[in-house]
Amino acid sequence: MIDQALEFLGSQKIEADLALVLGSGLGPLADKISSAKRIPYSQIPGAKVSSVAGHKGELVVGELEGKKVIALSGRLHGYEGHTPNEVVYLLRALRKLGIRKFILSNASGSTHKAFPPGSLALIGDHINFTGKNPLTGAELYGAERFPDMSDLYSLKWREQVLSLSKKTKLKFPLKEAVYIGVRGPNFETPAEIRAFRTMGADIVGMSTVWEAIALKQMGAEILGISCVCNFGAGVVDQVLKHEDVLQAGRDASQDFQNLVEAIIGVSL
């Protein structure tokens, strides 16, 4: 089926220096892409559409900061019932088209007060706590059956972005974080947040880890940016709602746009 997706995407004359996955509430960046061509996921053979609010389900192809980019406005999640292979399907297709650099963004909750809501976190490493893996199975999409993950989120790229962030207008200084990916869809319990904090996780979310693993196997260079939208349960006294996460993402979207535009302007 991925060959059919490649044939379709090839017919669209898609060219890009970088692909960008837009997480919950971060979709407005797609509207900044000029000369945009929008391709609904529903038109791409084998691709599925997210049922989650805040995920449009379309490729936006065009230019940002004078560079050719593809934005994935919306992603699939395991908690919708999708398999890891379904979640990473479009990213594998784009990598096979020759795109090497990928920015994965998401919304997350913080396990402690060092990462307050409204801040951005640069993902330095992750913990796959979903119990599933997109590399399971017989078909290999990359050269390695057992790919190394020691530099999963490109150290060279991260160092460049941390330096760049100091010259970029952000509400909070950009810091590196360890992201833990869970299945969801429920928010975590206070005990789980305490456990994740003990494990070394700074932020927690319901996406990204499968995408990063699949892309790394295929030799991609990956950057992860998380918009911290809430404190995890028990960090402060509050009731968690998905609508609040979306609003927090929208509130932080300008900082996210500022940072991504700066990255694209100097990284490609």
Strands 67-73 and 58-64: antiparallel
Q: Does the annotation count 82 as an active-site position?
A: no
248 among known catalytic residues: no
Out of 63, 80, 86, 176, the active site residue is 80
* 72 closest CA partner among 35, 44, 98, 45: 44
Q: Could you give the angle at the alpha carbon of 124 between the alpha carbons of 122 and 125, nearest 5°? A: 130
Known catalytic residue at 77:
yes
261 catalytically annotated: no
- Which one of 16, 107, 177, 262 is the catalytic residue? 107
Q: Which of 16, 19, 24, 128 is catalytic?
A: 24
Active site residue 24: yes
Give the active site residue among 36, 86, 112, 242. 242
Q: Of these residues, 77, 85, 188, 192, which one is catalytic?
A: 77
85 is catalytic: no
Catalytic residue, chosen from 73, 106, 108, 207, is 207
188 counts as catalytic: no
- Among candidate residues 125, 118, 103, the one with its CA nearest the CA of residue 202: 125
Active site residue 126: no
Query: Of the listed 79, 195, 221, 253, which one is catalytic?
Result: 79
Q: Is 107 a catalytic residue?
A: yes
Q: Is 6 left (phi over 0), alpha (psi -120 to 50) or beta?
A: alpha
Catalytic one of 73, 108, 230, 267 = 230
Task: Please state, in angstroms and rounded to a whole number, the distance separating the CA atoms of residues 34 and 255.
Answer: 19
Distance CA 18, CA 39 (A): 17
* Beta strands in the chain, from DSSP E residues, in sequence order: 18-22, 34-40, 58-64, 67-73, 101-110, 120-128, 175-181, 203-205, 221-231
Name the residues annotated as catalytic.
Answer: 24, 55, 77, 79-80, 107, 206-207, 230, 242
